[in-house]
């Protein structure tokens, strides 16, 4: 009887719990962090990441935000209705530029309605189907072909181009194997350098070439992360020091590792001075250089996973940049001025075309300008460093001055690439939001 009364009392007792209040601020921060993480992992420039986060915050009707974009982590502070919240996410350094990912994310942001739910944005960002960059067979072949083109631009003869192609392919296999074993990025770069240099040295025993030094060094130079140089330079000039300085440090770290690997081989094996590379009549040379500039940009499109609809613009920019550089060098001999003019013109063209084509301007700029990363002058500088180390105080002053001159020229060419590509963006695109 007592049990029956208790059961009746329990059945009539109702406990009302307060409704769960959604954490809108937390969900907004989560969506913005996810966006920043995806863009950084795709190799996007810092300004595009910041502008994209700001644009998304407006669509989500979030509060006032302050963003700290670092190279290892992204921190966002939001002030909303008198409440201050801070959120952070970490991410690994990007291995390269995934142009399709940047383009896909940009297209998605342009479709967002006002007042969209942040949880929905997070789900949709995570569900975006974006192919990852890597070394499938077609990208493998594209990078090898780019090395051959780069060798032609740096005065290799016909047999040296054969050595460059074979040595690059072998070194790419070695780097893929080392990376697959779990070794870090820099160990993979060092292994690539040693395998490429040693392979070229051995191949020169059976393949006659008058430009052995170029054949030995060019396969190593192509692993220089040109996109880190361009992006890092942009960040520094835009005062995004937290991300710009680390990007440039990666670029210089790779240069140092390549220099160490090459010096080991060059000190053990001293090739004679290089002869003349391939020579053609002036008109043929200009046409050939222009076509190869377009193909070099196409190779970078494949390596960077560029969308198909952007490749035509990349081809155009690569051809125009190489044509301008070639004509100026023939007319005046000033390589730095030629690189600056070429990159300045393609930056202007890419900026104007991107407004109509609705694609990120960074894609044609990086793919078309990577071909200008100094190669020949790095070769001359490394050759001089080898002679200085070998001969010591007995070295002639001409070798010392040539080494310093080549090193400074490489530095100025790198600066010309950065300033030439960024200047139109700062002047003509000063009111553009990059998202």
pLDDT digits (tens, 9 = 90+) for 344-367: 999 999 988 887 767 888 899 989
The predicted pLDDT at position 165 comes to 94
The predicted pLDDT at position 4 comes to 52
| pTM of the full structure | 0.84
Q: Which of 9-13, 36-40, 45-49, 110-114 has the weakest average pLDDT?
A: 9-13
Residue 286 clears pLDDT 90, i.e. is over it: yes
DSSP state of 44: -
Burial of 53 (0-12, 13-18, 19+ CB in 10 A): buried
* Euclidean distance between CA atoms 335 and 341, whole angstroms: 10
Q: What is the pLDDT confidence band of residue 20, given thresholds at 50, 70 and 90? A: low
The predicted pLDDT at position 14 comes to 54
382-388: list long-range contacts, CB under 8 Å, 24+ apart.
Answer: 382/217, 382/259, 382/262, 382/263, 382/266, 383/213, 383/266, 385/259, 385/263, 386/263, 386/266, 386/267, 386/270
Exposure on the CB side of residue 253, measured as CA atoms within 13 A: 12
CB 345 within 8 A of CB 320: yes
Q: What is the pLDDT confidence band of residue 319, given thresholds at 50, 70 and 90? A: very high
Q: Work out the percent of the chain whose per-residue pLDDT is above 90.
A: 33
Pick the residue with more confidence: 23 or 84? 84
The predicted pLDDT at position 135 comes to 52
The predicted pLDDT at position 347 comes to 93
Residue 431 clears pLDDT 80, i.e. is over it: no
Residue 168 clears pLDDT 90, i.e. is over it: yes
Residue 1 clears pLDDT 70, i.e. is over it: no
Rounded average pLDDT over 274-278 = 72
Average pLDDT, the chain: 85
């Amino acid at each position: 009887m007592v049990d029956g009364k208790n059961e009746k009392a329990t059945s009539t007792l109702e406990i009302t719990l307060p409704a769960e209040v959604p954490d809108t601020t937390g969900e907004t921060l989560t969506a913005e962090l996810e966006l920043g993480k995806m863009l950084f992992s795709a190799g996007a420039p810092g300004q595009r990441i910041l502008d994209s986060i700001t644009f998304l915050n407006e669509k989500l009707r979030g509060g006032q935000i302050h963003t700290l974009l670092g190279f290892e982590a992204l921190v966002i502070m939001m002030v909303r209705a008198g409440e201050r919240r801070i959120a952070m996410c970490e991410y690994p350094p990007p291995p390269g530029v995934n142009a399709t990912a940047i383009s896909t994310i940009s297209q998605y942001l342009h479709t967002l309605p006002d007042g969209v739910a942040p949880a929905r944005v997070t789900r949709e960002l995570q569900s975006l189907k974006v192919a990852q960059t890597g070394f499938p067979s077609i990208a493998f072949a594209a990078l090898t072909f780019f090395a051959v083109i780069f060798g032609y631009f740096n005065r290799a003869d016909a047999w040296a181009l054969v050595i460059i192609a074979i040595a690059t392919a072998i070194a790419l296999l070695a780097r893929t194997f080392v990376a697959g074993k779990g070794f870090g990025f820099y160990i993979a770069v060092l292994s690539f350098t040693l395998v490429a240099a040693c392979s070229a040295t051995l191949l020169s025993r059976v393949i006659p070439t008058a430009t052995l030094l170029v054949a030995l060094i060019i396969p190593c130079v192509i692993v220089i992360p040109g996109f880190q140089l361009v992006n890092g330079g942009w960040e520094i000039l835009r005062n995004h020091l937290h991300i710009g300085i680390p990007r440039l440090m990666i670029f210089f770290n790779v240069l140092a590792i390549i220099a160490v690997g090459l010096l080991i081989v060059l000190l053990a094996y001293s090739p004679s001075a290089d002869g003349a590379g391939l020579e053609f009549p002036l008109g043929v040379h200009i046409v050939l250089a222009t076509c190869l500039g377009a193909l070099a940009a196409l190779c970078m499109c494949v390596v960077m996973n560029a969308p198909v609809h952007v490749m035509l613009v990349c081809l155009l920019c690569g051809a125009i940049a190489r044509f301008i550089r070639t004509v100026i060098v023939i007319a005046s001999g000033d390589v730095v001025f030629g690189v600056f003019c070429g990159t300045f013109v393609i930056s202007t063209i890419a900026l104007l075309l991107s407004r109509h084509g609705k694609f990120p301007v960074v894609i044609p700029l990086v793919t078309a300008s990577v071909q200008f990363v100094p190669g020949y002058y790095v070769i001359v500088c490394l050759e001089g460093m080898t002679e200085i180390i070998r001969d010591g105080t007995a070295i002639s002053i001409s070798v010392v001055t040539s080494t310093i001159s080549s090193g400074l020229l490489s530095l100025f060419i790198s600066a010309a690439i950065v300033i030439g590509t960024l200047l139109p963006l700062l002047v003509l695109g000063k009111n553009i939001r990059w998202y």
